[in-house]
Structure 1
């Protein structure tokens, strides 16, 4: 039995679950996936059985429990240094952490108005200026990183920074927020990952519909 267990929720909607899941998959780290369905009627009360915040994802490693996406990615980077979940170069590593944390704590307009939804047809909606401001900043980040690294991922090889921005690729596409060449280039690389396609296929196959919320 695998020691690592990652508890995730609905793959159609759960952007925070997607982040550590895709990192584990891309890096080939063995883990047991545990699904816990969203239940809006109870406020996801059952999540309290494994999470002090009543949120997903949660990583369990024997007696250790890590319940926040970026903390999970940091834990994995420490436990599996050979996976190079952060760039090797200290300057690149610092930048990767900066943009990962910026994603974690920012872009609130995009997150609240354009939730991740794997099943959604690509269709533009009316969004605030704040969404376009968020998207512009994201494109600037991607452009700056890709121009320096040469790609295909933000720091050359796939890293935690790419995992943090994975749900954004879905959001920009589904709400038709930008056709900038950088978005097209980076989105093509991300969505052609076998791990991305596995998650997307599972999300689209889910029968449940829940109230969309920022994540």
Structure 2
């Protein structure tokens, strides 16, 4: 996979991710939902923590702002590392499967980093109102933005039968996480690496030999 194709894929993922986030941010109030299908909803939430909404200050004796800053800086280093991995993989002509997966992971990580670094100064508060882009009263500052999530797939939302021990009468729902396009790209990239592990980390992609190299092989 060439660097041009990789850059194009990253650009498309980022474009779709940011367009969807900006649209949701400027058209939905925080917590607002729109039912597309019974099993799929657009549900606007903001995530200021790590994966699954976890926060460092839940585990460490630090303030929420410090935890957010540490997380954002960590994400920046992680994106830089993934970017170098991608560049090195392309330069060394590693498999197309590996480059595709790393490109998706890089695009997704970069998409969420944009939210964390810039959204705090680009938008005002979404709580109780629809946010305005380039607001004179931003809700945060550089590096303290919140990640916008909106894709929600409540495929099962029911109540346990009363006869079920311990859980009877309680609500049961399947697939509660709310995520975004960037998260999808990361999950897809990781999934490719897990499912096609041997293909991704196997032989390098085939290169077309030059006339000079072909002559050397025949000698």
**Normalising by structure 1, what TM-score?**
0.29
Question: Which structure has more strand as a fraction of its residues?
Answer: 2
